[in-house]
Amino acid sequence: MEMLTTLWNTTGIVALTPGELLMIAVGMVLIYLAVVRKFEPLLLLPIGFGAILSNIPLAGMNEPGGILDAFYTVGIKSGVFPLLIFLGVGALTDFSALLANPRMLLLGAAAQFGIFATLIGAIALNWVPGLDFTLAQAAAIAIIGGADGPTAIYLSSQLAPELLGPIAVAAYSYMALVPIIQPPVMRALTSKKERQIKMVQLKPVSKRARILFPILVLLLTALLLPTAAPLVGMFCLGNLMRESGVVDRLTKTAQNELINLVTIFLGLAVGAQLSAGSFLTTQTLGILMLGAAAFVLGTAAGVLMAKLMNAVSKVPINPLIGAAGVSAVPMAARVVNKEGLAADPQNFLLMHAMGPNVAGVLGSAVAAGVLLALVG
């Protein structure tokens, strides 16, 4: 009888707390969103599964020496996983649309307004009872507005590792909801006539320009904002491998095997931070609210900047493409194209929207570097 009692006391059923049970349910919801709703499945599925694993009582997977703790320590705490993701993203990115119309850099920069507005909002929320964000935590939360998951994970791991789980979940959840969040903002700020504006066809870009661009971006970043060099540097390396055309094997590895492997480990490591003790707090609710506000403000700022540019430019600019300045590549560009086609079935904006979209990737990395320089 004593042996049976001892055996029963070692089961997870006895040790399971209500908080752990709730977090396992949260993991299930994330898996549901990935599998059934197809919301960012590459990240939400391993994150959800990692959340379940980290909340299994007595398993110790998220404790020092556990496998999930090892993934977190080696890959996220060190910053390696997000940087490798940026290498792969760089190898997948085509800057031709941006180089053909360099003005789109302004839209990518304008869309980062949501980051800095949210930084102020996070500090202001300290007036609400139960919420108390430090400046470093506010900066980590604000980067959600960049709509770039790896950047959000990298910055939060450097500034506020205790908030990594909620920030990562908020960032990827809102990225998945871009087709739902952005259209109402875009329609509210533009008229149908503006949404029907057709843009001039983009000019072809030479191979030399595509090769020189990542090199010049890296040098400029290294000279002006060294704190952004890790993210921008890995991104530019991946892009240089792609555009040079002399390292196809490395490019294909970065685009496929490397980024896929890292994505699995990154998702599990982030999921490991979704323990009941760290996630079930009033701060998590504040993070979710601020993340939504950051996306809306970033979208609005991009659209308004595009309207301003159209007002002073001789070449027509459809204000919708400003919404692509958030760096949810290529989802934001597809949303822009869909809204353009809804206004005029012959108005194809996808290639034009890719300019501010890839500019937003650089913009979010630069914004992270600015926050690291100011706060870190």
Omega into 330 within 30° of 0, i.e. cis? yes
Task: Please state whether the predicted TM-score (pTM) of the whole model is above 0.85.
Answer: yes
Angle 219-220-223 (CA atoms, 0-180°, nearest 5)? 85
Low-confidence ranges of the chain (pLDDT < 50): none
Angle 220-299-231 (CA atoms, 0-180°, nearest 5)? 30
Residue 240 neighbours by CB under 8 Å, 6+ apart: 90, 211, 214, 215
Contact 121, 127 (CB under 8 A): no
What is the model's pLDDT at position 106?
94
Pairwise CA distance, residues 294 & 115, whole Å? 6
pLDDT, tens only, 280-330: 788 888 888 888 888 899 999 999 999 999 999 889 999 999 999 988 888
pLDDT, tens only, 1-15: 666 666 656 666 777
Q: How many CB atoms lie within 10 A of CB 100?
A: 18
Pairwise CA distance, residues 102 & 332, whole Å? 19
Joined together, the tokens standing for residue 52 give 């379940």
Residue with structure tokens 């240089």?
A: 240
What is the model's pLDDT at position 1?
62
Nearest to 362 by CA among 196, 224, 204: 224
Name the burial class of residue 329, with classes exposed (0-12), middle (13-18) and buried (19+) by CB atoms within 10 angstroms of its CB: buried
